Chains A and B, each alone.
Chain A
Amino acid sequence: MKHYANDYSVGELMCVTLAREIEDRDVVVLGSFTPLAYASYILAKITHAPNSTLLAYAAVDFKPFQLSFLRAEASATRGAPLMWTMLEDLNSVHLKGRGDVEAISSIQADQYGNINLSVIGDYNKPKLRGPGGAGAPEVIKMHRKMIGYFPSHSKMTFVAKVDFITGTRYLIGPEERIKSGYRPGPIRYITNLCVISKHEKDKPFRIDSLHPGVKVEDVVNNTGFELEVPEQVPETEKPTEEQVRLLREVVDPYGTIAFDFKPGKERLGYLKDILQKELASIGY
């Protein structure tokens, strides 16, 4: 029987929820270094998905490692039986639709499955120039599921229509996906308030579950598009005591997951603390 934890952070809840999206034998890709996604995949790998294949940087099928702010790339590289180029990665995983999950985040996301990592405002005269999409705008179509995580669920992020479509799921319903040679799977967003998902092009996002203590109106009032609200919305499954222990003691003892949840002003100080701890770990 599962012993659910009572003491956990929203970051840990999101991390475990994302880990539960990983099934055994999934092929899971890590893009830019984002502690929450890395921790989720590694947690899944050492618990319910030991046969998943993790890919990061040039490293293929690397051994699970203790997360660190500085050492993710070195760890993945040292623990990998194979290294390949980005082109080999695309040819082997992405283009043929063999990837299962590559969680993304975005500055804006809308009701159509579009993401925007490019600009806020006019494309040619932006108020904010974002980083650009890297792999995200296309992998969200190619992989079996499109999974997004959003540490701050608000109308700033979840808008009716993104300012610029950097990328899109494009093929949403199972029939059109299969017809184009892609495996069917949902769009699912894990936020600090809830889990929402979309399964058909012409149907809205639906609230799958609310995190403990969150009400339907908290979600509806913070979302810039229409949501389907089932009559009974389940509560998001809490992390188990064992999952929380593994995260804190084994996967992420430096506390990198919390980084994304710190307010802007505290982030720098928090990062410097992590760096101090990492130095101490090698005897400095």
Chain B
Amino acid sequence: MTGESKVGKLSDITKIIKDGDKVAVGGAWLGSHPMAIIREIIRSKIKNLTAITVVGSIDIDLLIGAGCLSRLIFSFVSMEAFGLAPNFRRAIEKEGLPHDEMTGLAVIIGLEAGGRNVPFLPYRGPFGSDLVKYRPELYKAMKCPFTGEDVIAAAAIVPDVAIIHATRADHRGSIQIEGTSATDIEMIRAAKRRIVSVEEIVGTEEILKHPEKTKIPGFQVDLVIEAPMGAHPTSNAPHYVFDAWHILKYMEYAATPETFKKYLEDYVMKPEFEYLEAIGGMKQATILRRLAREVKFL
């Protein structure tokens, strides 16, 4: 083993994420969200965060419900076929959670601008959308300085911290992603500090067998945490599917603020290994893994 180790424990996240930080949350739809890290943020009572998501679901809904956010930057938050995200809806409709809604493309291009260290990037953006009118600090119509064409500038997004969940890493923080990478890599490039949880930590020789799967180099990573099933109840393709049974339960708990508190007690405010037991342990993990393996092509 050469070089210093980036490997730490879940509880080490408090050395990197501080109250009031802007946190970019990886994953997309019901896939590969860094859920173990999110549960640890809630356990650690880190508050006043601004979360940034492209396509969020239970990750964002959980952070909102647990009272960790004071602002949300998003293009989409939904539980998809399970319905609208209950805490997200309540927070905006009833409690006036400050939020910046953007188009998905503008979030991605804004993160790319952040990674390139430029204040904005132009593109043929959402002309005619009310979002441009309502959020002039995020979008500006402008003329191309060369041709005079109309373009829209998407403001750079520079998170304090990016949190993502990936497939595997070595001790140096070489990160392999086999499934849906979403905007994880752009978030990592744009952020000042980065935490990556992975399904498994392996020796560097394992990483070298498939270097093409390595998407993030160790110098862009501050902390690596081994968290098997760390995306649960979201998926980690192609290794396990999202846990529809748990999400159905979550939707029942999240129906009211009172019952949602009970969800936090029953599932979140306990060590991560107890969470994995509470959701059905190895038996449930095996079902989710088998479903992801047994697919049928036509």
- Write 21 A-B pairs (CB below 8 A) sorted by A numbering: A63-B297, A71-B294, A73-B238, A73-B242, A74-B238, A84-B181, A86-B186, A95-B123, A127-B93, A129-B93, A134-B76, A134-B104, A137-B103, A138-B103, A166-B103, A166-B131, A167-B126, A180-B124, A250-B298, A275-B244, A282-B290
A278 touches B291 (CB 8 A): yes
Give complex CA distance A170, B124 in Å. Answer: 11
B109 touches A90 (CB 8 A): yes
Nearest CB to that of A251 among chain B residues?
B298
A86 touches B108 (CB 8 A): yes
Q: How far is the CB of B139 from chain A (nearest CB, A)?
A: 12
The reply to whether the CB of B220 lies closer than 8 angstroms to some CB of chain A is no
The reply to whether the CB of B158 lies closer than 8 angstroms to some CB of chain A is no
What B residues does A58 contact at CB under 8 A?
179-182
What B residues does A170 contact at CB under 8 A?
127-128
The reply to whether the CB of A17 lies closer than 8 angstroms to some CB of chain B is no
A73 touches B181 (CB 8 A): no
The reply to whether the CB of B80 lies closer than 8 angstroms to some CB of chain A is yes
What B residues does A75 contact at CB under 8 A?
295-297
A135 touches B295 (CB 8 A): no
The reply to whether the CB of B88 lies closer than 8 angstroms to some CB of chain A is yes
What A residues does B245 contact at CB under 8 A?
275
Interface bits A208-239 vs B (CB < 8 Å: 1, else 0): 00000000000000000000000000000000
Q: How far is the CB of B151 from chain A (nearest CB, A)?
A: 11
A73 touches B235 (CB 8 A): yes
Count of residues in A whose CB is under 8 Å from the partner chain? 69
Give complex CA distance A85, B32 in Å. Answer: 13
B75 touches A132 (CB 8 A): yes
What A residues does B78 contact at CB under 8 A?
32, 131-132
A166 touches B129 (CB 8 A): yes
Give complex CA distance A4, B236 in Å. Answer: 42
Interface bits B163-182 vs A (CB < 8 Å: 1, else 0): 00000000000000011111
B76 touches A73 (CB 8 A): no
The reply to whether the CB of A94 lies closer than 8 angstroms to some CB of chain B is yes
B103 touches A74 (CB 8 A): no
Give complex CA distance A180, B93 in Å. Answer: 38
Which among A136, A166, A272 is the interface contact of B130 at CB below 8 angstroms? A166
Interface bits B64-87 vs A (CB < 8 Å: 1, else 0): 000000000011111011001100
Nearest CB to that of A162 among chain B residues?
B130
Residues of A150-186 contacting chain B, CB below 8 A? 164-168, 170, 180-181
Q: How far is the CB of B180 from chain A (nearest CB, A)?
A: 4
Residues of B110-155 contacting chain A, CB below 8 A? 112, 123-131, 134
B242 touches A165 (CB 8 A): no
Given contacts A86-B54, A87-B186, A90-B109, 17 further A-B contacts (CB under 8 A): A70-B241, A71-B292, A73-B242, A74-B241, A77-B237, A77-B238, A79-B295, A129-B88, A132-B78, A133-B76, A133-B103, A133-B104, A136-B104, A138-B105, A166-B103, A168-B126, A180-B124
Give complex CA distance A134, B126 in Å. Answer: 12
